[in-house]
Structure 1
Amino acid sequence: MANVLLDDFSKLEHEAWTRVTSLYDKSWANLTKQFIEPLLNAVGVQPGMKVLDVACGPGYVSHAIHSKQAIPIGVDFSSSMIQLAREFYPDIKFVEGDAQALNFPDREFDAVVMNFGMLHLSKPELAMAEARRVLRTEGRFGFTVWAGPDRSPTANVMFDNIMKYADQNVNMPEAPPSYYFSDEKLTTELLQRSGFDNVTFTDRLIEWIVPNAEYYFNTELNAGVRTGTFLRRQTPETLSVIKQAVIEAMQQFYDGNSYRLRFCGCVVAATKK
């Protein structure tokens, strides 16, 4: 295990990511990969640039950086994710490490990116500070987060039914709000306080085509981290009620052949002052 902050939320995240490593490529990948190109465009990746891919997971972003003839290094706190990334992309350097305490020198990178990692950190403001530290002057820091359920039609289905039917008192560690960084004003202010300017913030609505109505619920349950853990801590009876409600609500996304789920993500980028 990398030298990560060992608070209860970080422990939950680390244990969960270790558990779902083998499932990620067959579940969430087709959703999160759709944000890679917009993220790299937001930070202006060019040939020859040295780019740090934080919370790199299986290495998809690092691979895209390499394809642009830039020089990626991927870092993740999960040794199993790093192992998977090395298997997928043996020509790219991947190392274990904590986004909140990066083991790299100051001013080492031209850009730092994080694809859906911020919401999995117990101290995301430390990750911002670390990104700034390892960036060269006027380097760009970019990250993606999920928009709140009010802007994300399919996520709203899960959120509404969890709020309606789940036991909200199951034991979960204290954690930052799931959708804090989907607020443009708050995110811009935090980046500015952290030493960044020229902030850009763009919502991106995408489709995730899945084969059946159960797919999204089962993916959250079996391959989800924060939401998945919350669901698995429900009683079997409660879980069954939530699942049935979500499946029924999924019918609105059925086009006669498949289920076209719609999610909104935010692509955020800023320049080191």
Structure 2
Amino acid sequence: MMILSPAELSSSEAERLRAFERQGHDALAKSYHAFFAAVTALATDPLFDDVHLHRGTRLLDVASGPGALTAEAANRGARSVGVDLSPRMIELAQRLYPTIEYREADVEHLPFPDHTFDAVVCAFGLGHFPRPELAVAECVRTLSPGGRIAFSWWGDPSRQRIQGIFRDAIAEIGVSAPLDVPQGHNVFRYSNSGEFLQLLDGAGLTEVKVTEHAATYFVPDTETLWRGGLGSLVLTGAVIRKQDQATQGLIRTAFERCASVYKSADGLNLPIAFKIGSGQRPT
């Protein structure tokens, strides 16, 4: 299912994916915050380390979601701003962290002058961007000379088992993505370190590197994982929700079997793998 290609999307395909992502994250903002924000927080410290965050750093958090990373940067003394495509995510972030600045914005058209920031970070937004080369170039535009940028993205689903369990279950049943779910965009393109390095090199960055990170995330039971995943994973969740009840039941049965591998006496211990790609704008 979901055969994917790294080829650049047309303008109309890019806009279709952008609208799908905006609507999907609007619909899931609260449930994403309740379940998945804690998973994405695993990348916070490595992202900050790679951009050399310190007191006074002017930092832009792209695809800021519910806003926790932006707020944590401010807690550490940075002058941080968050932007997100989803207005509901921005509303939620502003409510959760009322003293932090958040703006609704598309990553290809950031509302800031050239050289505004010392650092740009993006936690797990990269694979959602319709045209990642344009997105990275626009982020670099806002960086001061010598500024640093860092993106996190997931490892292969075989090693990132929250998404992986769902995708394995879908593949086992053999369902296809419905026609109204955008196709032709490779969500896991940057799970490949070579592709990730090529993206950053192509943006004209120096000191480019991609580092591997692994962790284990605890979920108390499969029901929590099922509900949390469907309430957080926009594309994968849409594929499941748009099936009929009988097919959803088959996917759930396969999901339970795939998840059982990670059961312990207390719950599920799920392997999480992600990468961080980083670089510096030339001085």
**TM-score normalised by length of structure 2:** 0.90
Query: 2:70, 2:162 → 1: CA distance?
Result: 28
Match of 2:145 in 1: 137
Q: Cα offset for 1:149?
A: 1.8
* Pair 155,24 (structure 1): closer, same or farther in 2 beyond 3 Å: closer
**Count of residues in correspondence between the two structures:** 269
Q: 1:177 aligns with which of 179, 186, 195?
A: 186
* Pair 144,9 (structure 1): closer, same or farther in 2 beyond 3 Å: same
| Matches for 1:1-273 after TM superposition, within 5 Å | 7-171=15-179, 172-273=181-282
Q: Cα offset for 1:175?
A: 4.3
Query: 1:178, 1:59 → 2: CA distance?
Result: 22
Q: Equivalent residue of 2:66, what SS?
A: coil
Deviates more, 1:105-114 or 1:73-82: 73-82
Deviates more, 1:106-115 or 1:227-236: 227-236
Q: Equivalent residue of 2:222, what SS?
A: coil
Query: 1:30, 1:125 → 2: CA distance?
Result: 28
* Pair 201,224 (structure 1): closer, same or farther in 2 beyond 3 Å: same
Q: Cα offset for 1:113?
A: 0.6
AA aligned opposite 2:241 = R
Q: Cα offset for 1:108?
A: 0.6
Q: State the identity %.
A: 29
Q: Cα offset for 1:213?
A: 1.5
Cα offsets for 1:72-104 (capped at 9, x unmatched): 011111111111111111111111111111111
Query: 1:84, 1:155 → 2: CA distance?
Result: 24
Cα offsets for 1:157-176 (capped at 9, x unmatched): 32222212142252121342
Q: Say whether the 8 Å CA contact 2:61–2:120 is kept in structure 1.
A: yes
Q: Equivalent residue of 2:178, what SS?
A: coil
Query: 1:180, 1:13 → 2: CA distance?
Result: 17
Q: Equivalent residue of 2:122, what SS?
A: strand
Query: 2:31, 2:102 → 1: CA distance?
Result: 20
Q: Say whether the 8 Å CA contact 2:167–2:236 is kept in structure 1.
A: no
Q: Cα offset for 1:153?
A: 4.2
Q: Cα offset for 1:109?
A: 0.4
Q: Cα offset for 1:21?
A: 1.0
Q: What residue ranges of structure 1 are gaps of 5+ in the alignment?
A: none
Q: Cα offset for 1:187?
A: 1.3
Q: Equivalent residue of 1:23, what SS?
A: helix
Give every structure 1 segment of 4 or more consecutive aligned residues whose post-TM-superposition deviation is greater than 3 Å. Answer: 153-156
CA RMSD of aligned residues (A): 1.6
* Pair 20,154 (structure 1): closer, same or farther in 2 beyond 3 Å: closer
